[in-house]
Amino acid sequence: MKDIFDNIKFGRFNLKSRIIRTGLWESQNDSTYGLSQSIFDRYESLAKNNVGLIITELISLYSHDRFSDYSDYINYPYFIKEFRSLPEIAHEYDVPIFAQIGFINCNINGKQMMEVNELNMEDIRKIQADYIVAAKKIAFAGFDGIQLNIGNNYFLSRVMDPFENQREDNYGGNTYNRVRMVLEIIKLIKQTTDLHIHCRVNLYKDFDDSLEICKILAENGADSLQITKFLSPQYFRKSLSNENMLVDFTDAVASEVSIPVVLGGGLSSMNAMNDLMNSTNIEFFSMQRPFVRNPALLTEWKEKGYGESDCKTCNNCYWKKDSTCLIKSE
């Protein structure tokens, strides 16, 4: 029987559990002093409490695109100096750590709020070059991998979306063309760093096209995938049909590719994860808000042999400077 606390390979890494801590929008910066001791304490809590792999909160590719005043961006002047502490902390506990990078609004080459179909070749090359510079900084800071957030409503997810992308050049039309821009980024990151490349990718409206996107990514350099949807899967926790759709799709992807595939959120019970893992091809699960609620969650589950997060998915911990849960226990 498989268990979430199995020691397991994930690419070249040995994980202590099958639980991936995905970052969302927790504050990483107090907007005056950069990374503070409370941020370092947060990562230490994750690393020492049985998380298999840590993925940081979103580090935006562009300063204009920060999620809040307390979010970070890759061109923050002290990025390498401050962020190198996060891999140092995680590695003390033998936990690998990836940096998450992405952007939503496309303001480049002096143009504002560009849509997918408006990009010219100069714009495409600028975005790709910005990703390569970001990857080099992430590698230099000592991270083990990079999570390319090309899911949810991030800009590159819209480039791959068959409904959004109506381009008639080599970057639109068939599935491969819509993934081409991301594939070129992956290829260049591989040529210039040894980062593990983890892609957070959507289940779009078209199941088969979405599956094809995942296969193309897996066959062209992606080292692992995390499956998500346009809106965070946490919003679907109470909707069985939506939850099942994501599970069914993740199961289908995991059966078709030979790289690790992570179910992107939506589950918060140890028994439910173990049941799912033993009845499908799904091997890895991601969680985020449950760790804000209780950073020692997995250690408690491991000791008891069962457990469920009581996070309400209310999102009141976000947007704030300290990203703490103030909801009282029942």
**What residues make contact with ligand SF4 under the rule CB under 6 A?**
289, 292-293, 311-317, 325, 327
Q: Which is nearer to ligand SF4, 224 or 234 (CB)?
A: 234
Q: Which is nearer to ligand SF4, 236 or 249 (CB)?
A: 236
Closest approach of ligand SF4 to the CB of residue 267, in Å: 14
Q: Which is nearer to ligand SF4, 75 or 315 (CB)?
A: 315
Do residues 126 and 103 lie in contact, with contact meaning Cβ atoms separated by under 8 Å? no
Closest approach of ligand SF4 to the CB of residue 238, in Å: 14
Q: Which amino acid is it at 108?
A: I
Q: Which is nearer to ligand SF4, 203 or 311 (CB)?
A: 311
Closest approach of ligand SF4 to the CB of residue 289, in Å: 4
**Measured distance CA(177)–CA(183) in Å, rounded:** 10
SS3 of residue 180 by DSSP? helix
Classify the C-alpha dihedral 213-266-280-15 as positive or negative. Answer: positive
Closest approach of ligand SF4 to the CB of residue 91, in Å: 27
Q: Which is nearer to ligand SF4, 210 or 228 (CB)?
A: 228
Cα torsion at 263, 264, 269, 270 (round to 10°)? 50
Closest approach of ligand SF4 to the CB of residue 235, in Å: 11
Q: Which is nearer to ligand SF4, 230 or 235 (CB)?
A: 235
Q: Which is nearer to ligand SF4, 239 or 278 (CB)?
A: 239
Looking up tokens 């390979």 gives 9
SS3 of residue 263 by DSSP? strand
**Measured distance CA(291)–CA(326) in Å, rounded:** 13
Beta strands 8-10 and 13-15 are antiparallel
Closest approach of ligand SF4 to the CB of residue 139, in Å: 32
Closest approach of ligand SF4 to the CB of residue 299, in Å: 17
Length of the chain: 330
Closest approach of ligand SF4 to the CB of residue 201, in Å: 24
| 124-159 per-residue burial string, b: 16 or more CB within 10 A, e: under 16 | beebbebbbebbebbbebbbbbbbbbbbbebbbbbb
Closest approach of ligand SF4 to the CB of residue 324, in Å: 8
Looking up tokens 């980062």 gives 195
Report the DSSP beta bridge partners of residue 15: 8
Cα radius of gyration (the chain): 19
Q: Which is nearer to ligand SF4, 160 or 325 (CB)?
A: 325
Report the DSSP beta bridge partners of residue 100: 58, 147
SS3 of residue 92 by DSSP? helix
Q: Which amino acid is it at 89?
A: I
Do residues 80 and 137 lie in contact, with contact meaning Cβ atoms separated by under 8 Å? yes
Q: Which is nearer to ligand SF4, 152 or 193 (CB)?
A: 152
